[in-house]
């Protein structure tokens, strides 16, 4: 896997991960979406996604409890390896959730992997999530989601251990300009 680079994007809900990932995919880099593994498995099992995201949250926690905390990341690794086998040299991993996923990825791709955390002031993040089309949450719901992701999924660890950080308090243009600087530094 020489010359293969994998950029794993992590951040809390509403931090701007999608802005970062969309910028990367606009450059032609393929992405492997952690949440997509959950959606695929829910569909396979005939479980409907609810508008409030509750069914996804419950399923995400259940699958990790029943199949192992590394279930999602095992699916992601398999898909990333398929992309590498097909000749891809740059891959984006969208939405690492847990410390287990972080450790598993670091073990699987020790020389190929860089973690990027997207962070934003909480007040700004909550406002963005409240106004997000199609997936808006009120303050109580986002606080509960934060609690669940931190306590049940151990999401804080990958953010704390990231190799690079983007502060996303400003405009999309500021964020993508800062991202491009990081991409140049890591030769992505």
- Write out the DSSP string of 1-59: -TT-EEEEEE--TTSSHHHHHHHHHHTT--EEEHHHHHHHHHHHTTPPPPTTSHHHHHH
Structure tokens that stand for 146 in this block:
């934060």
Which residues share a beta bridge with 185? none
Look at domain 5-185 and name its CATH class: alpha beta
Q: Which of 142, 128, 160, 154 is nearest to 60 (CA)?
A: 154
CB atoms under 10 Å from CB of 37, counted, come to: 21
Question: Which pLDDT score, from 0 to 100, does residue 52 have?
Answer: 75
Q: Cα separation of 37 and 4, whole Å?
A: 22
Stated as kind and residue range, the H or E segment containing 117 is: strand 113-119
Q: Quote the DSSP letter at residue 120.
A: -
Q: What is the pLDDT of residues 56-107, one digit of tens each?
A: 888 988 998 999 989 999 999 999 999 999 999 999 999 898 899 999 999 9
Question: Which pLDDT score, from 0 to 100, does residue 148 have?
Answer: 85
The pTM of this model reads 0.90
Question: Which pLDDT score, from 0 to 100, does residue 24 have?
Answer: 98
Sign of the four-CA dihedral 124, 172, 105, 110: negative
Q: Cα separation of 34 and 41, whole Å?
A: 11
47, 55 contact by CB (below 8 A): yes
Domain boundaries, the chain: 5-185
Question: Which pLDDT score, from 0 to 100, does residue 61 have?
Answer: 83
Residues of the chain with pLDDT under 50: none
Structure tokens that stand for 155 in this block:
């999401």
CA 183-112-179 angle, to 5 degrees, is: 15
């Amino acid at each position: 896997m020489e010359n293969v680079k994998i950029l794993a994007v992590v951040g809390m809900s509403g931090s701007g991960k999608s802005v970062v990932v969309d910028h990367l995919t606009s450059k032609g880099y393929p992405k492997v979406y952690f949440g997509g593994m959950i959606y695929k498995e829910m569909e396979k099992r005939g479980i409907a996604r609810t508008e409030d995201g509750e069914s996804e949250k419950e399923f995400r926690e259940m699958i990790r409890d029943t199949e192992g905390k590394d279930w999602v990341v095992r699916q992601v690794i398999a898909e990333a390896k398929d992309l590498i086998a097909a000749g891809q040299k740059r891959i984006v991993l969208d939405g690492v959730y847990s410390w287990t996923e972080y450790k598993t990825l670091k073990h699987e791709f020790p020389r190929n992997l860089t973690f990027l955390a997207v962070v934003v002031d909480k007040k700004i993040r909550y406002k963005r999530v409240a106004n997000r089309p199609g997936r808006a949450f009120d303050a109580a719901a986002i606080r509960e989601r934060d609690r669940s992701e931190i306590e049940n999924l151990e999401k804080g660890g990958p953010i704390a251990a990231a190799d690079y950080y983007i502060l996303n308090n400003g405009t999309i243009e500021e964020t993508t300009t800062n991202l491009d600087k990081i991409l140049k530094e890591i030769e992505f």
